[in-house]
Structure 1
Amino acid sequence: MTSKLAQLQLDLQQYLGERIAPLSMDLGELTLDVRPSEYLEACRILRDHESLRFEQLIDLCAVDYQGYANAPWDGRRYVVVLHLLSVHCNHRVRVRVWCPDDDFPIVPSVDSIWNSANWYEREAFDLYGVVFEGHNDLRRILTDYGFIGHPFRKDFPISGTVEMRYDPEARRVIYQPVTIEPREIVPRIVREAGYGGLKH
């Protein structure tokens, strides 16, 4: 670990204290877990403290841990991940907050702290169903207005039941039953032992 990274780790532990649960180092990057109840205050400290000054939120996403690493997962299902950058101090940190309820994932919005979170939070809501409490315009951003479900959840069906197309006669978008034939999506080299003369 570089001395600069070690100093950042000490600063995070000093200024965030009990809000950290826990702080880990992997592949030269710091990951900071915070409790949902401490999330907003921790983010304000990360942005405003003179020794930290994480003035830029460069990414925010959600992750679905159901079936993580192709194995049963024994923990909370949804987590929101932020990547923060301090231009002034030239360091980065990853912040994670786990949604306390798997059936209704909800965490506070950080849009009032970093306004770049606005569309990122809308995307996480649209694709994963994570609700960001306090967001002033939380609506779908990538899927259609009438879309049902959240397509990046691991239990979302691979093939849907309706498809959307533009009807030139009706001059509007219409929905109709799916007409795509089911197909094998596992490559032949994986599903057929002798394919291409290869031996397993």
Structure 2
Amino acid sequence: MSAIAIAPEILRATVAKTLGDLARSVTLEHGEVTVEVAAANYLAAMQKLHTAPGCQFEQLMDLCGVDYSAYKEIGTDGLRYAVVSHLLSISLNQRVRVRTFCPEDDFPVIPSVTGIWNGANWFEREAFDLYGILFEGHADLRRILTDYGFIGHPFRKDFPLSGHVEMAYDAEQRRVIYQPVTIEPREITPRIIREDNYGGLH
């Protein structure tokens, strides 16, 4: 029988008290608790959330990168790259979201949490692959979704939609080769046909 979930307000207060100065903020919106921590406190905060009484978030449900450069409320005024994690306490039936920004945009680095949750392994590799975020202490940080010869990080807002290179099979060389993208970028505007009296509307 699963535990009855506690009220979000109580969870927010418990998390805020547990983390103390380790948290920049602990907010409650739409019934969800979000914790923001500085990169320097990230590992210590995650360890407390994992083991502290009243928290006990035994499971890392998700970890992803975010590029905030195109967000209106942050944009160029704040740090660009963040790591967002979703934690679950199976024993207490509660969830929390944790967000931390990488301190440098040119070389985004943050500690790995694989020592706390083994399941972070592939999540962190994906964030590295797609956003170029480096996870310090990760034992096997390499691409996981794109090819080993892939150039760039395709989920960054400034990555071109067509990419940098394309892959093709060369019959003469009998192998796959990489070459500059030959697709010319173009904007397609769909043709819209409006019928009079469509669906009985005037």
Mapping of residues 1-200 of structure 1, within 5 Å = 4-69=7-72, 72-167=75-170, 170-185=173-188, 187-188=189-190, 195-197=192-194
Q: Normalising by structure 2, report the TM-score.
A: 0.87
What is the RMSD of the two structures over their aligned residues, measured on CA atoms?
A: 2.0
User: Judging changes above 3 Å, is the alpha-carbon distance between structure 1 residues 130 and 89 closer, same or farther for their aligned structure 2 residues?
Assistant: same
Task: Supply the AA of the counterpart residue of 1:85.
Answer: L
- Specify the SS of the correspondent of 2:34: strand
**Aligned length, in residue pairs:** 191
Alpha-carbon separation, structure 1, partners of 2:47 and 2:23 = 14
Alpha-carbon separation, structure 2, partners of 1:55 and 1:161 = 41
Alpha-carbon separation, structure 2, partners of 1:58 and 1:197 = 46
What displacement does 1:180 show?
A: 2.9
What displacement does 1:176 show?
A: 2.7
- Specify the SS of the correspondent of 1:88: coil
- Specify the SS of the correspondent of 2:115: coil
Structure 1 alignment gaps of length 5 or more: 190-194
- Specify the SS of the correspondent of 2:193: helix
What displacement does 1:72 show?
A: 4.1
Task: Supply the AA of the counterpart residue of 2:183.
Answer: I
What displacement does 1:94 show?
A: 0.2
Identity of aligned residues (%): 58
Q: Normalising by structure 1, report the TM-score.
A: 0.88
Describe the superposition over 1:30-71 as per-residue Cα deviations: whole angstroms up to 9, x where unpaired.
110011111111111111112111000000001001121498
- Specify the SS of the correspondent of 1:33: strand
- Specify the SS of the correspondent of 1:23: strand
What displacement does 1:172 show?
A: 2.3
User: What residue in structure 1 maps to residue 199 of structure 2?
Assistant: none
Alpha-carbon separation, structure 2, partners of 1:3 and 1:181 = 55
What displacement does 1:86 show?
A: 0.4
